[in-house]
Amino acid sequence: MALLQIERKPDSAFQGRLIRHTQSICPDCNRILPANVIEHDNKVWLHKVCPQHGEVEELYFGSYEMYQKFSTYWVDGKGTHAPNVPIDLCACPMNCGLCSNHLSHTGLANIIVTNRCDLTCWYCFFYVKKGLEGAYVYEPTHNQVRGMVRALKAERPVGGNSLQITGGEPTLRDDLADIIKIIHEEGVDHIQLNTNGINLALQPELATKLKAAGLSNLYLSFDGISPRTNPKNHWEAPYTLDSCRKAHVGVVLVPTVIKSVNDHELGGILRFAQKNIDVVRAISYQPVSLTGRMKKQEREKYRITIPDCIHRIEEQTEGEITRDAWFPVPSCSPITHFVETFTRKPQYELSIHFACGAGTYVFLDEDRNKLVPMTSFVDIRGLLEYLDEKSDEINSGGNRYIAAARFMAKIGSFIDKAKQPKGLNMSKLLVNALIKHDYSSVGQFHLKSMFLGMMHFQDKYNQDEERLQRCDIHYLNPDMRIIPFCSFNVIPEWYRDRIQKKYGITVEQWEKEHGEKLEAKLYKGTLRRLGAQKPHEIMGCATSAVHIEPITGV
Amino acid sequence: MSHGQLTAKKAGPTRIGSISLKADRDTILVDEPIKLLLRFQIDGGFRDNFTQQVWEEAYKAHDVRLRLTLTIGFAKKVGGVFSRKVGKPIKMVRKAKLFWTRNPERHNRTWVMVIDENEAPMIPKSGAEAQSLLLDFNRSFDLLGTDLGKGTHSIVAKVKAKWGRHYYAPKGSVEATSPPIKIVCT
């Protein structure tokens, strides 16, 4: 293993305290640059200097204290043992696919089934726009889908088992159920659908059809609880939830969080989820990724990071979900390692960088109608420490069955049963999830709880190649490459646009082949008109006058 | 992790060295606290092998996490031996995480983060600093006069460090006792 040596040394003319050196790219020319992760004003910043385009300092993590806490969970993953792009020199973000130097297997694979969309949201980068030069409609064939899923399953040491169908708007494909069936046939257990939910609201039977084909849950774009913050599907989302409720399809709400736009509604989104906890399994807050060229002042207006969202949720829930309840995604690695040492087999692990994502579990206390974070009745840190200790014992020659028996005997001591919500048997849930560690037992855990997650996708301003190298949210492609999210979307000119051009057709050709205009599928706000009170509420995204800057999120 | 693949450079046995115990005062009242400063370092094979060169090899074998458990207790002399425990033994864990660094100033890819017993993460600037952060110990402890009782006491610190099997060291533990100090409690 080796790193491509770059000419320049890290710039030392920054203000603040150095935390670590890393690499990034120039937002103008994509040149690989040395970068410093630094602290000042109790926040963490990324600082870099391009010899041609100058200095950039960007907010990286909104709390130094939380950065320090999260960084203690840093664990590098098992890496890719069967890379699709074998290379010696590591030169992130080039040569993605996955390459020999990538450090995480696929945690969640994205498969784009279409880049057509029935909305034209002002901040979205993904949908095909008619009239733009080089606009291609990308819709892989069934054979291509099968091939891509096989590439995912062929990953080593752990084959991929969790897949998201995405777009564009995937429900625009009439053969979506067939695509789900193919993915299911190829052995993927978890299939989720990334959607705006409008077609599921308009056609309630669609959810049942997709469930029967093998769909696990919906990943529902949901940016706020008012028409202003969520013009996309404010009126439609309740109908979508009803369709899913009837079809027994769980829903993950996915707000793209933009400072000064919808960051005041993070608590409100949580309350909306609480009201619909019978069908909403999780919320995945996604701080916005800023694409396109944007001035520093504008970036400051919109930029929000994981700690900022966590603080706002604490404030907006009046301390119900405290900042201490959140852990970085790789904090679950002691669980994986314990299961690995016990089973002596490599296991699915979430080994992303600690600054990429965070999460917590909450349970509903029905008596008080309050959400209770798992941390208020489970000593998570103590439990993780204990698992680490037991893994060490087994790795050092200790008897694994004795270690597992001790763990089961001890697990109750990490749970405060008096504070545990009524009707919940956390010990049993944990033992099943840890010892069985299969899809169904982990699924049972999720049925009893609601997961709150954060995932901050990068952009050219805050891109940290140490994060990219550990990314586990990947895109499957017809050329069999599996490309990390923050390469695929952050540098579309190298990845996404090229692939869609190569495997897509022009808009004109698509219209000719399908005998309809691309814009014919745009949503006209049918459901909005039923409940709208004011003129701006009847304006669907398709006709929305709201357009500020090309801000993006997924 | 690759079990039993101990190809790191051969070194002598691991030991606890330079152990010392000091008190901030010689005499205290029975209701007063006293501060004891304990210093020691883990030397020998473990330390000698905990180098960047060996981290590189360990990383390739995906042996990336180390837990070093330290147990520290104090004892006073009774009947000619240091048999009476003073206060409860304290268990602490230090950790080291090997990771692939993209620091452009380094030619080697593997580096280390050390997390001390207070869960403070530290990225050392050099291999020697990494050894020091992980294996040198310098910390004060508070004891109460009531823990000792009235009289003249001879006190020692008893230290145990243990770790699991790693690429750079077999599973092991080391123990040591500090030279005694005299404390008068009135």
Query: Looking at residue A103, what is its pLDDT?
Result: 95
- Which residues of chain B have a Cβ shorter than 8 Å from any chain A Cβ? 1, 3, 59-60, 62, 64-65, 67, 69, 93, 95, 97-105, 107, 109, 113, 115, 119-121, 123, 164-165, 171
- Residues of A with CB below 8 A from B65's CB? 75, 337, 388
The Cα–Cα gap between A60 and A306 comes to: 9
pLDDT at B107: 80
Contact A106, A472 (CB under 8 A): yes
pLDDT tens readout for residues A505-535: 999 999 999 999 998 989 988 777 655 555 4
Place of tokens 């268990």: B91
Q: Could you tell me the two tokens for A321?
A: 């979900």
A214 dihedral zone (left: phi>0; alpha: psi -120 to 50; beta): left
- Interchain pair A68, B165: CB under 8 A: no
Determine the pLDDT at residue B2.
37
What is residue B104's predicted lDDT score, i.e. its pLDDT? 84
Contacts of A76 in chain B (CB under 8 A): 59, 64, 97-100
pLDDT computed for residue A552 by the predictor = 41
Beta-carbon separation of A388 and B67 below 8 A: yes
CB contact under 8 A, A69 and B119: yes
- Residue B59 is which amino acid? Y
**Predicted-complex ipTM score:** 0.91
Domain boundaries, chain A: 2-61
Give the integer Cα–Cα distance in Å for B1 and B7: 13
B7 pLDDT above the threshold of 60: no
**pLDDT averaged over every residue in chain A:** 90
Residues of B in contact with A469 (CB under 8 A): 100, 102
Report the C-alpha gap between A340 and A352 in whole angstroms: 18
Contact residues, chain A, for B3 at CB < 8 Å:
395
- Of B62, B97, B104, nearest to A34 by CB-CB distance is B104
Question: For chain A, what percent of residues have pLDDT higher than 70?
Answer: 90
Does A124 have pLDDT greater than 90? no
Under a CB-based contact definition with an 8 Å cutoff, are residues A180 and A213 in contact?
yes
Q: A342: buried, middle or exposed (CB in 10 Å: 19+, 13-18, 0-12)?
A: buried
Of residues A274 and A548, more confidently modeled: A274
Residues of A in contact with B95 (CB under 8 A): 72
Mean pLDDT value of segment A330-357: 93
Which H/E stretch holds residue A507?
Answer: helix A507-514
* pLDDT tens per residue across span B147-167: 888 999 999 999 999 999 999
DSSP states of A461-490: TT--HHHHTT--EEEE-TTS-EEEHHHHTT
Question: Cβ contact (<8 Å) for B103 and A22?
Answer: yes
Spell out the domain ranges in chain B. Answer: 25-166
Write out chain B residues lying below 8 Å of A38, CB-based.
none
Among A23, A74, A469, beta carbon nearest to B97: A74
Q: Is the confidence at residue A408, as pLDDT, over 60?
A: yes
Task: Average the pLDDT over B70-88 and give the result.
Answer: 89
pLDDT over 70 (residue A446) = no
When mean pLDDT is compared across A108-117, A465-474, A476-485, B99-108, the lowest value belongs to B99-108
Of A332-336, A489-493, B105-109, where does mean pLDDT reach its minimum?
B105-109
A→B interface, C-beta within 8 Å: 1-3, 5-6, 8-10, 19-23, 34, 68-69, 71-72, 74-76, 78-79, 90, 92, 101, 103, 337, 385, 388-389, 392-393, 395-397, 465-466, 469
Disruptive mutation site among A7, A20, A324 for chain B (greatest number of B CBs within 10 Å):
A20
Region A82-103: mean pLDDT is: 91
Helices then strands, each counted (H, E), chain A: 19, 21
Pairwise CA distance, residues A269 & A271, whole Å: 5
CA-to-CA distance for B29 and B26, rounded, in angstroms? 11
Option in B65, B105, B115 nearest A21 (CB): B105
| A131 or A198: which leads in pLDDT | A198
Q: Do B102 and A72 touch (CB under 8 A)?
A: no
* pLDDT reading at B113 higher than 50: yes
Interface mutation vs chain A, best among B91, B100, B102, B122, most A CBs within 10 Å: B102
Residues of A in contact with B164 (CB under 8 A): 392-393, 395-396
Task: Provide the 3-class DSSP secondary structure of residue B152.
Answer: strand
Least confident window among A88-92, A544-548, B98-102: A544-548
Q: CB–CB of A457/A554 below 8 Å?
A: yes
Burial bucket for residue A389 (CB in 10 Å: 0-12, 13-18, 19+): middle
| Residue-wise burial string across A364-380, b where 16 or more C-beta atoms lie within 10 A, e elsewhere | bbeeeeebbbbbbbbeb
Average pLDDT for residues A458-477, to the nearest whole number?
A: 97
Chain A residues whose CB is inside 8 A of the B97 CB are 74-76
In Å, what is the CA distance from A406 to each residue of A167, A336, A387, A390, A402?
Answer: 47, 18, 11, 9, 6
Residue of chain B whose alpha carbon sits nearest to that of A5: B104
pLDDT band for position A546 (cuts 50, 70, 90): very low
Distance of alpha carbon A411 from alpha carbon A230, whole angstroms: 43
Nearest to A76 among B1, B100, B171 (CB): B100
Distances (CA, A) of A302 to A56, A225, A316: 16, 19, 19
Q: Residue A430 and residue A408: Cα distance in Å, rounded?
A: 9
Pick the closest to residue A391 from B58, B99, B98, B1 (CA basis): B1
Question: If you measure CA to CA, which chain B residue comes closest to A469?
Answer: B100
What rounded mean pLDDT belongs to chain B? 91
Euclidean distance between CA atoms B58 and B3, whole angstroms: 11
Residue A78 has pLDDT above 80, yes or no: yes
The encoded tokens of residue A238 equal 């309740």
Question: Looking at the predicted structure, is the pLDDT value of residue A414 above 90?
Answer: yes
Over the stretch B117-126, which tens digit does the pLDDT of each residue have? 999 999 999 9
pLDDT for A2 beyond 80: no
Cis before A98? omega within 30: yes
Q: CA of B82: how far to CAs of A198, A404, B24, B154, in Å? A: 76, 37, 21, 8
Instruction: Name the residue facing A2 among B67, B109, B121 (closest C-beta).
Output: B109
Q: Give the separation between CA A476 and CA A88, rounded to whole angstroms.
A: 23
Task: Give mean pLDDT, residues B89-95.
Answer: 96
pLDDT(A468) > 90 = yes
CA distances from A309 to A103, A554, B128 (A): 27, 16, 39
User: Which of A7-21, A77-91, A115-129, A427-441 bottoms out in mean pLDDT, i.e. has the lowest?
Assistant: A427-441
Alpha helices in B13-74 (DSSP H): 45-49, 52-60
Give first-to-last CA distance, chain A, whole Å: 33
Of B98, B113, B171, Cβ closest to residue A396: B171
Ranges of beta strands (E only) in A177-315 are: 190-195, 217-221, 250-254, 256-257, 280-287
Question: What is the pLDDT averaged over residues A75-90?
Answer: 89
pLDDT > 50? residue A226:
yes
Chain B residues close to A337, C-beta within 8 Å: 65
R_g of chain B, CA atoms, integer Å: 19
